[in-house]
Amino acid sequence: MDEHALKELIADELGRVRDRSLGLTTEVLDEAELTSQVSPLMSPLVWDLAHVGNYEELWLLREAAGIEPMRPEIDTLYDAFEHPRAERPSLPLLPPGEARAYIETVRAKVLDSLSSVRFDTDAPLTSGGFVYGMVVQHEHMHDETMLATHQLRKGAPALLEPPGEAVRTSPAGGEVLIEAGPFQMGTSGDPWAYDNERPGHIVDLPSYYIDAEPVTNAAYLAFMEAGGYDDPRWWDPKGWEWRTAGGKQAPAFWTREGTGWVRRRFGRTEPVPQAEPVQHVSWYEADAYARWAGKRLPTEAEWEKAARWDPAAGRSRRYPWGDVYEDGRANLGQRMLRPSEAGSYEKGASAYGVRQMIGDVWEWTSSDFHGYPGFRSFPYKEYSEVFFGPDYKVLRGGSWATHPLAVRGTFRNWDYPIRRQIFTGFRCARSAGGS
């Protein structure tokens, strides 16, 4: 794509993501709700809104365009590292009207300066427009975070269920065998990739089986009904502690009604849909289910090989189905407020025939979050490097709430193993070798 066309695309995508952010914060909620906190895990929505504008000012105005800070005194309020989420509601945050005016002013200056920022330089930040892609993705990530806040809030529904339809196909069912051998993990050349997706490198794996679809609510209910929550044999010791201390008996947002279970979804209550991938489970719950089922969670490498490797071509794809994003192959971008049924999107299957690797639910993997061999932090170590270590588990594939621009086969997300307010499910794997 030439530079002019890329800049037009960036301007369009900046507009689209802003419409999305405003749709999650304007009109649907009053000032009190925007500034209050529904859970210590989440920021007030008005924090997310001004934070995306402040991040945009920092990276696109100050760093890329060399423009002086507009309001340096507010930087500290929106620095995620200076103020943990629990503190954010008590900060002197910009009220909603001021936050909107601030981010709008930032945006106007970004669009003004876009034509004079050169993409054809050696400066890694602006080369190929990298930092603009980073900012578009950042705002989409916060929109997904805002959706998690919406899911946690009490009160009458605030979001309309969008008209998006799942592409239903017949379930694939069962497991797929992935033969032993090397594949290319990560990427060195993807212009949208974050530092933690780089560099591309070869990983050689023994053979394994992976579920063709995410684990459904029906399958998860079978685990619950078999007493899965009451049997420490299935649980990681830390998971058992978590389950016991919190009295956990079901995924988040589920409550028992009569002999069955219902779930609350964005302020509405409905019977638990049997064929939908299970959502809002912690890593510990996913890990326990897998052990009960005689399986395990896939490693991050196993997940990625099943999603991206094309054994006939001997190369990895950007998406399971190919290198180019196409509508109708995955449930992404908040087209619906829910995952589609397991077995949907046959045309989104990977070369191995594994379904729904992109979209629907984030998938827990067994892997801790680490840098790939040769990792170099870029452009700032607080994006991912500071999270490397044993505390975080890697999640892959994006959810129905993730925008297509903010996920690909190499994208890595991470969270604590106790977290379940995010749109997370899982699938299982098992080793195929003799042992």
Q: Contact residues for ligand AVJ (CB under 6 A)?
A: 138, 141, 145, 383, 413-414
3-class DSSP state of 61: helix
Q: What minimum distance in Å lies between the beta carbon of 199 and ligand AVJ? A: 19
Query: Residue 142 annotated as binding?
Result: yes
* Contact in structure between 165 and 177 (CB atoms under 8 Å): no
Nearer to ligand AVJ, 42 or 342 (CB): 42
Query: Residue 329 annotated as binding?
Result: no
Measured at CB, which residue is nearest to ligand AVJ? 141
Query: Residue 236 annotated as binding?
Result: no
Query: Who's near 51: CB < 8 A, 6+ residues apart?
Result: 43, 78, 80, 142
Query: Residue 87 annotated as binding?
Result: yes
Q: What minimum distance in Å lies between the beta carbon of 224 and ligand AVJ? A: 28
Q: What share of the chain is helix, strand, coil (3-state, %, to 5)?
A: 35, 15, 50
Nearer to ligand AVJ, 326 or 382 (CB): 382
230's tokens = 């009451």
Query: Residue 430 annotated as binding?
Result: no
Nearer to ligand AVJ, 83 or 264 (CB): 83
Q: What minimum distance in Å lies between the beta carbon of 406 and ligand AVJ? A: 9
Nearer to ligand AVJ, 355 or 403 (CB): 403
Q: Could you count the other beta carbons within 10 Å of the beta carbon of residue 281?
A: 25
Q: What minimum distance in Å lies between the beta carbon of 147 and ligand AVJ? A: 12
Query: Residue 355 annotated as binding?
Result: no
DSSP state of 59: I
CA distance 194 to 375: 11
Q: What minimum distance in Å lies between the beta carbon of 27 and ligand AVJ? A: 25
Query: Residue 85 annotated as binding?
Result: yes
Nearer to ligand AVJ, 145 or 356 (CB): 145
* H/E element, 140: helix 130-152
Q: What minimum distance in Å lies between the beta carbon of 17 and ligand AVJ? A: 13
CA distance 326 to 321: 9
What secondary structure does DSSP assign to 237-301, as a single string? Answer: HHHHHHHHHTT--SSTTEEEETTEEEEEETTEEEEPPTTSBP-S--HHHHHHHHHHTT-BPPPHH
Nearer to ligand AVJ, 144 or 175 (CB): 144
> How far, rounded to the nearest angstrom, does the alpha carbon of residue 141 sit from its chain's CA centroid?
7
Binding residues are 51, 85-88, 138, 142, 415, 419
Binding residues for Fe cation are 51, 138, 142
Binding residues for gamma-L-glutamyl-L-cysteine are 85-88, 415, 419
